[in-house]
């Protein structure tokens, strides 16, 4: 999953002007710090996926799918165990022809179960890629907007860029998560009107 996720991160952030770099469009002078250096920040995309509401929802959806697939595979295993047990216990009582048929049936079902497990794995990987790709595409737009609003010249992805040192002040991850949740979360209910003051008699 980690390898798949890293490849998705690279694809999603490529739309921002580099495999792991987002370039804000703010003029360079506005982004300069007092010592003349350009402002640079970083995003931990793994943390966005782990903590944002949309990232959590995507993982929960995948876990539900995985649980359903696991249940079906468990049923297949029980069926195979039953046939194997019957072959072992009744092998001496079966005619060679019936025993051969049972063994062929067992092998067919075993191959079918192996193919189904492979199909399930590919389906899960595809769903994971689709769900996470959407989250990352949404986040990339937010990162670009935050970068422009804050006057950053460069924003890098912490893991993909191989950041060795980064000051906490340069971490925009939590801000991106808040903005992402605000943009995609449920609308907050309207505040109740203030009660009129009660007049004392």
Residue range 156-191, pLDDT digits in tens = 888 776 666 677 888 888 999 999 899 876 544 444
d(CA 174, CA 181): 10
Which residue in 174, 191, 180 sits closest to 55, CA to CA? 180
pTM: 0.57
60 within a domain of the structure (yes/no): yes
Q: Are 38 and 28 in contact (CB under 8 A)?
A: yes
Quote the crossing angle between the two packed helices 53-90 and 96-150, to the nearest 10°. 170
91 within a domain of the structure (yes/no): yes
42 within a domain of the structure (yes/no): yes
The domain of 111 spans 2-23+37-184
CATH number for the domain that contains residue 63: 3.30.910.20
**Is 34's pLDDT higher than 70?**
no
Query: How many domains in the chain?
Result: 1
131 within a domain of the structure (yes/no): yes
pLDDT tens-digit series, residues 74-129: 999 999 998 888 888 887 788 888 888 888 988 999 999 999 999 999 999 998 88
User: What value does the mean pLDDT of the chain take?
Assistant: 75
Task: Please indicate whether residue 169 or residue 22 has the higher confidence score (pLDDT).
Answer: 169
Torsion of Cα atoms, 172 then 36 then 13 then 147, to 10°: 50
Q: What is the pLDDT of residue 158?
A: 83
197 within a domain of the structure (yes/no): no
28 within a domain of the structure (yes/no): no
The length of the chain in residues reads: 201
């Amino acid at each position: 999953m980690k390898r798949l996720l890293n490849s998705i991160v690279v694809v999603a952030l490529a739309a921002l002007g580099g495999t792991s770099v987002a370039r804000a469009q703010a003029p360079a002078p506005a982004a300069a710090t007092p010592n003349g250096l350009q402002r640079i920040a970083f995003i931990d995309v793994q943390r966005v996926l782990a903590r944002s509401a949309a990232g959590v929802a995507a993982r929960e959806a995948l876990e539900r799918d995985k649980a359903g697939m696991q249940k079906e595979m468990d049923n297949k295993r029980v069926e195979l165990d039953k046939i194997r047990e019957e072959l072992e216990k009744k092998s001496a009582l079966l005619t060679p022809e019936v025993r051969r048929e049972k063994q062929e049936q067992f092998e067919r079902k075993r191959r079918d179960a192996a193919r189904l497990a492979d199909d399930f794995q590919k389906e899960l990987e595809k769903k994971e890629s689709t769900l996470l790709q959407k989250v990352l595409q949404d986040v990339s737009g937010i990162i670009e907007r935050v970068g422009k609003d804050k006057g950053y010249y460069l924003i890098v992805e912490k893991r993909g860029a191989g950041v060795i040192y980064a000051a906490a002040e340069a971490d925009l991850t939590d801000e991106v998560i808040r903005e992402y949740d605000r943009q995609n979360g449920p609308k907050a209910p309207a505040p109740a009107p203030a009660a009129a003051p009660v007049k004392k008699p």
